[in-house]
Amino acid sequence: MTEDTDPVAATVDMMTLKSQPNTLKKKPGVIGEAAKERPKQEATAKAAAAAAIATATSLPTSPAPEQKQTEPKQTEEALAIPKQPEPSSSSPGELATENAALREQISRLQHDLHEAQDLIFSLQPLQQPLTETEAVSEFQALIASVEEWVDQKLGDALEPDNDVSNDTETRDETNTEGSHSEGGGGNLVFQVDPQSTPRVMKEIQSLLDLIPSPGRAAFAYHATDVDVVQALIMRYLSDAIFSQDFYCPLPKAERELVTVVERSMRTLTPRRDTRSRRHWRVETYTALSARPGFDQYATNRMWDLTYDITRLLRLFASEGDGQKLAKSFFEGITKPASELARKMHLSFDEFAVEWSGYHDRVGECERLFQDGPLEGGTEFEFVELQSRKTLREMPGKDARWMFDLTPRLVVRKLKADAYAEARTLVKPRILISNRLKEKNGALTVLGTLERWLQEQYYTQARQRESRSGSRILSYLSGM
């Protein structure tokens, strides 16, 4: 191979030679010659390849092109060591002024931070503990529980047509001595042990105080006792639980503190709006009711309320065990009512239990249907006394307004600085009587109790007059 031979071409020729297929035919003589020539060809190819490699390694190599510097050059200032700050030549007075300014700036920043945190917290959606659907469901369930309890526990005693013994019955200390019965001439007679008369009089008076004037006027109409008792239980729950600031009144000192803070929030500058005050109130009562021992405190109060009302209703109880009567009232009525009231009082929207405007207006009730259907009557749900059915149509001139059976449930949605108009969720139920179906001379158990109480008051008044007269005569005779 000469010096002008291209080493790359020689290498390619060698590889081509190796890759050529063996196309020789298997003939005698030809195969032998090819076999003889093969070692020579391989030796020649190896020599050519070695020469090409040697030539390639002996060629001079050109230096690689210098790459351009793309990174910015660091300045001497950046590489230099930071210089130490020179000692300040400020006077102590200037330093104090600068320090005070920095402190004031820090205070402003902290104040702004707190305001930002308060704003973020106020913008977070607050969970409503009671929805309108839940309120309707639980309120209607409570009304049904009251009706069922009265029917089961007091229903037999409140039916004047039933035969009940005239004899005075002595019961345990949680019940009242006494009975009522239908005596001769169609008059109900109520008898009480003379020693128990003062206590029974007090209990009957407390019971009658829970019945508004229209309800008392209904004593003269047949089969109204059960309805009146159901209504007075709802009245008691409304006054003792739902109409309170909180379902379980807080101790006096805590109530006063909450009241003072709420009043102060109205006069602050800037003034706190209705939403802010309501949120503060809900959060405060939520925290107070979550403290240790409050649940037991609330339970004790619920039992106190239960004993107060069952002490008045035990006059009509068919079972002699007053403790069982109280327990059934607690589980079926007091506890569900308190749980519902708690949710209502801790809601941001305002839920309320309200009676109709005619709840205690006996004179106006008598004239309501004289001119035909009542204006605005769609706001009520009317139940007929004789048929015990809810009327689908508005009562006419033959209807007589008796009294409110149950109150209504309303909600007022919370706005920025006010409450929306009240919206009725559950209509009030009103008992009416059909004048054409009324029975004359009807007698009721509650009417009998009222007459007995009036007789006792009259007897006591006569006795006081007699004693007073005796003292005067004794005084005059001694002169």
Please check whether residue 409 is in contact with residue 424, taking contact to mean a CB–CB distance below 8 angstroms: yes
The CA distance from 329 to 345, in Å, is 23
pLDDT for 442 equals: 67
pLDDT for 166 equals: 34
The CA distance from 1 to 51, in Å, is 8
Please check whether residue 414 is in contact with residue 278, taking contact to mean a CB–CB distance below 8 angstroms: yes
| Chain center to CA of 245 | 15
The CA distance from 288 to 280, in Å, is 12
Taking alpha carbons only, the member of 301, 263, 294, 293 closest to residue 280 is 263
pLDDT for 326 equals: 94
pLDDT for 84 equals: 56
Q: 147-161: b or e for each residue (b if 16 or more CB lie within 10 Å)?
A: bebbeebbbebbebe
Mean pLDDT per block of 10 residues along the chain (479 residues) reads 49 48 45 54 61 52 48 49 57 84 90 74 62 96 97 84 39 38 43 79 92 91 93 96 92 88 86 87 90 93 96 80 91 97 94 92 75 77 92 86 95 88 95 85 83 89 77 64
pLDDT for 375 equals: 73
The two beta strands, 429-434 and 381-384, are parallel
Give residue limits of the domains in the chain.
7-50, 132-460
Residues 6+ away with beta carbon under 8 Å from 409: 135, 136, 139, 351, 352, 353, 424, 425, 426
The CA distance from 458 to 450, in Å, is 12
DSSP state of 390: B
Q: Where are the alpha helices (DSSP H) in 210-321?
A: 213-217, 225-237, 252-267, 274-289, 294-313
3-state secondary structure of 4: coil
The CA distance from 240 to 341, in Å, is 11
The CA distance from 146 to 307, in Å, is 16
Q: 446-477: b or e for each residue (b if 16 or more CB lie within 10 Å)?
A: bbbbbebbeebeeeeeeeeeeeeeeeeeeeee
pLDDT for 470 equals: 67
pLDDT for 299 equals: 95
